[in-house]
Amino acid sequence: MKAVGLAVVAALLLSACATTTSPTGRRQVIGGISQQQLDQLGAQAFAETKAKQTLNRDAKQNAYVQCVVNALVAQLPPQYHGVRWETAVFVEKEPNAFALPGGKVGVNTGIFSVAKNQDQLAAVIGHEIGHVISRHHEERLTRQQSTQLGLGILGALAGAAYGDTAASAVNQFGGMGAQGLILLPGSRTQESEADVVGQRLMAQAGFDPSQAVNLWQNMMAASGNRSPQWLSTHPDPANRIRELQRDTPALEPVYQQARRSGVVPRCG
């Protein structure tokens, strides 16, 4: 069983799903899960995280995060206007944040060590919300379901032809191939897309888009050594910074127009 076999089966399975266009014009395969199910999964994951992690009780920091979230979501497309966005700040030194379907945003206190002002915090949260409005969670779940089903079919075929050892080999090495050739590259694509969508969103919300560059420079300085790009679910930081720098000039008029229109966040 060669990698091309996995690719063919996965392609056939994915063809049964729906296709759509992302906010950047990229073709997406979705349909493996409903929006209601996605929202339920998001709410469940958020509740579990709050139960396991220590919640930050600093009222000022919580209000700061909520202010940035409110400013960003006010600029979302109409279909998100009815969503009540819930935020939580966790006592965790790792500089990280996330957003989930159903309007959930989590921020680690460690993010304040690299996001030095409201604009840089908006770059982080805008990126995470960008994943949600770009339907990345739905896209990845659809791909994962198709990949797992495809591996099961290939394993059964190999087992019928060559025995249990062959079936185990397909499941083991096919899974490694799927991870390297299907899941991880898609994730890097999504991360780059979330950068584009998030930087645009922060400009529309009156946050300085050039501060996204400063944020990732801070993140790069704080992270030190990291895995090679082809083994990671995230773009190389240097590449990420260059792409954000490339897009900043086109977003400057968007930012200035928002400010002239009175969209001037004052979060801290």
- Tokens 């990126």 sit at which residue? 127
Question: Per-residue pLDDT tens for 201-222?
Answer: 999 999 999 999 999 999 888 8
- pLDDT confidence band for 41 (50 / 70 / 90): confident
Question: Per-residue pLDDT tens for 171-191?
Answer: 444 444 433 333 343 478 888
Find the catalytic residue in 86, 94, 128, 252.
128
Question: Per-residue pLDDT tens for 155-169?
Answer: 443 344 434 443 443
Q: State yes or no: pLDDT of 239 exceeds 50.
A: yes
Residue ranges of domains in the chain: 17-260
Quick count: other Cβ atoms within 10 Å of Cβ 172? 12
Q: State yes or no: pLDDT of 148 exceeds 50.
A: yes
Task: Name the amino acid, one letter, at 34.
Answer: S
> Is 138 among the residues known to form the active site?
no
Alpha-carbon distance of 194 to 129, in angstroms, equals: 8
Alpha-carbon distance of 37 to 101, in angstroms, equals: 9
Query: What pTM was computed for the model?
Result: 0.78
Task: Give the SS3 label for residue 32.
Answer: coil
- What pLDDT score does 2 carry? 45
- What pLDDT score does 165 carry? 45
Alpha-carbon distance of 48 to 185, in angstroms, equals: 28
Alpha-carbon distance of 219 to 197, in angstroms, equals: 19
Nearest in space to 199 (alpha carbons), one of 186, 217, 211, 187: 211
Within 70-216, strands assigned E span 86-90, 97-100, 104-108
Q: What percent of the chain has pLDDT over 90?
A: 49
Which whole number is the average pLDDT over 54-61? 97
- What pLDDT score does 73 carry? 97
- What pLDDT score does 10 carry? 47
Which whole number is the average pLDDT over 232-259? 90
- What pLDDT score does 146 carry? 54
For the record, the structure tokens of 63 come out as 């209000």
Measured between its terminal Cα atoms, the distance across the chain in Å is: 57
Alpha-carbon distance of 130 to 228, in angstroms, equals: 24
Q: β-pairing, 104-108 with 97-100?
A: antiparallel
Q: Which of 39 and 153 is assigned the larger pLDDT?
A: 39
- What pLDDT score does 129 carry? 95
How big is the chain, counted in residues?
Answer: 268
Which whole number is the average pLDDT over 251-257? 98
**Enclosing H/E stretch for 50:** helix 35-52
Which whole number is the average pLDDT over 36-61? 91
